[in-house]
Amino acid sequence: MTTAHAKPDQRPANPNFSSGPCAKRPGWSLEGLADAPLGRSHRAKIGKTKLEQAIDLTREVLQVPADYRIGIVPASDTGAVEMALWSLLGARPVDMLAWESFGSGWITDVVKQLKLDNVRKFEADYGLLPDLSQIDFSHDVVFTWNGTTSGVRVPNGDWIPADREGLTICDATSAAFAQNLDFSKLDVVTFSWQKALGGEGAHGMLILSPRAVERLESYTPDWPMPKIFRMTKGGKLIEGIFKGETINTPSMLCVEDYLDALLWAKSIGGLEGLIGRADRNLAAVTAWVERTPWVDFLAVEPETRSNTSICLRVVDPAVTALPDAEQDAIAKAIVSKLAAEGVAYDIGAYRDAPSGLRIWAGATIETSDLEALFGWLDWAFAEAAASAVKAA
């Protein structure tokens, strides 16, 4: 059992470690959004210019190929993924991959809502990846790049062939702006503003390869298509969607906030700078875990460990000997104690995930704040575990 710890003197300057919406960039202020064209139409020249700028900066910072389309779409990453699933699937068999709750949700949508018959499911427990060598790329393939609720990511895109016949549809919402996305291996990429750049919610991004556009223009699904999902008209792509002519009305305040985050990303070195910050944060967490006997990563293999949504489990033998409900209570007590101290907010494991902690470590998080958090985690664990073991 871990010995008692005194409360640390040092506190994180920013206690926001939520995995979505994520922490704002360092130095962010509401005053920095004063240029937002509030009360103006998004179809007016000023609004459309802002939306086009958001698309252009996304391409620049994420290093999206010039022949890929980028669109701003409704309903966050969920809306972007659903647009892709409803619009593109059904032309070929589908391989669905899941190793956490969001991937499992996409399986449910494809099997139970779209009711596709020719679907193969490749699933793995939290902490693991399915066997990627079993995927058939003559099929369409749907997967998350980074499992937000498990902290497990694919290490790279090497397992995807360049000469695939089917489309790859990738939910990259907790990977974009923190991990290298191999766009040559991806036909659809989705993410939301409130993740790695700490933007505001309700807006999604949909990135389409030329192969995905070809599918849209040559294939019509059997089911009715809600207006909010429609990307073609008369068999042709609605190009305006990918030039800032959004399907629904976006918040221009949120657009301004996204622009602010993208400009900050450029200022720190673009994608390489963002990845470097997230990788340094993962390295700091790794060093703490390696010297701390009561905690370990949920992700089993080091090369699959996320540098954004870092998921941890309590492994102290005195705690793991307790019933599951009491172990869960200890994890929740850690979360509650740190929130009550104003040290860390929203670090509990996702509701469908195994008991533990989930700490966001993406580029908007300062390494110094994580390092200040570690002592508090040790203190909170010691307090919570001592109380639970004594009660047992």
Query: Nearest Cα to 221, choosing from 80, 93, 90, 82?
Result: 90
Mean pLDDT of 339-350: 98
- Rounded CA Rg of the chain: 22
Let me know if residue 12 belongs to a domain: no
One domain for residues 217 and 361: no
Asked if 206 and 284 count as a contact pair (C-beta separation under 8 A), the reply is no
pLDDT score recorded for residue 392: 60
One domain for residues 71 and 89: yes
Rounded to the nearest 5°, which phi and psi values hold at 139? -95, 165
Asked if 140 and 166 count as a contact pair (C-beta separation under 8 A), the reply is yes
Give residue 155's domain range. Answer: 30-266
Let me know if residue 13 belongs to a domain: no
Residues across the chain: 392
Asked if 286 and 374 count as a contact pair (C-beta separation under 8 A), the reply is no
**pLDDT over 90 at 389, yes or no:** no
Measured between alpha carbons, how far is 279 from 298 in angstroms, rounded to an integer? Answer: 17
One domain for residues 65 and 214: yes
Domain limit, last residue, from 234, 266, 298? 266
Domain limit, last residue, from 215, 233, 266? 266
Only one residue has tokens 């996204």, namely 258
Mean pLDDT over the full length of the chain: 97
Pairing of strands 146-147, 140-144: unpaired
One domain for residues 233 and 310: no
Residue 123: CATH number of its domain: 3.40.640.10
pLDDT digits (tens, 9 = 90+) for 95-153: 999 999 999 999 999 999 999 999 999 999 999 999 999 999 999 999 999 999 999 99
One domain for residues 302 and 221: no
Let me know if residue 17 belongs to a domain: no
Of the pLDDT bands very low, low, confident and very high (cuts 50, 70, 90), residue 387 is confident
Measured between alpha carbons, how far is 53 from 296 in angstroms, rounded to an integer? Answer: 42
Measured between alpha carbons, how far is 254 from 158 in angstroms, rounded to an integer? Answer: 35
Beta strands in the chain (DSSP E): 69-74, 94-98, 119-123, 140-144, 146-147, 152-153, 168-171, 188-192, 203-208, 232-233, 236-237, 295-297, 309-314, 357-360
Of the pLDDT bands very low, low, confident and very high (cuts 50, 70, 90), residue 3 is low
**pLDDT over 50 at 373, yes or no:** yes
One domain for residues 218 and 352: no
One domain for residues 71 and 190: yes
No. of helices (H) and no. of strands (E), the chain: 9, 14
Let me know if residue 360 belongs to a domain: yes
pLDDT score recorded for residue 1: 47
**pLDDT over 70 at 383, yes or no:** yes
One domain for residues 191 and 247: yes
Paired tokens of 346:
């929203």
pLDDT score recorded for residue 33: 98
Measured between alpha carbons, how far is 8 from 223 in angstroms, rounded to an integer? Answer: 58
Q: How many CA atoms lie within 13 A of 15 on its CB side?
A: 15
- By percentage, how much of the chain surpasses pLDDT 70? 98
Residue 301: CATH number of its domain: 3.90.1150.10
pLDDT digits (tens, 9 = 90+) for 224-251: 999 999 999 999 999 999 999 999 999 9
Of the pLDDT bands very low, low, confident and very high (cuts 50, 70, 90), residue 89 is very high
**pLDDT over 70 at 187, yes or no:** yes
Q: Structural domain tally of the chain?
A: 2
Let me know if residue 15 belongs to a domain: no
One domain for residues 50 and 105: yes
One domain for residues 161 and 186: yes
Mean pLDDT of 167-193: 98
Mean pLDDT of 268-275: 98
One domain for residues 132 and 214: yes
Let me know if residue 94 belongs to a domain: yes
Let me know if residue 82 belongs to a domain: yes
Mean pLDDT of 205-222: 98
Let me know if residue 182 belongs to a domain: yes
Of the pLDDT bands very low, low, confident and very high (cuts 50, 70, 90), residue 4 is confident
Domain limit, last residue, from 250, 266, 282? 266
One domain for residues 245 and 308: no
Q: Both ends of the chain: CA-CA distance in Å?
A: 14
pLDDT score recorded for residue 170: 98
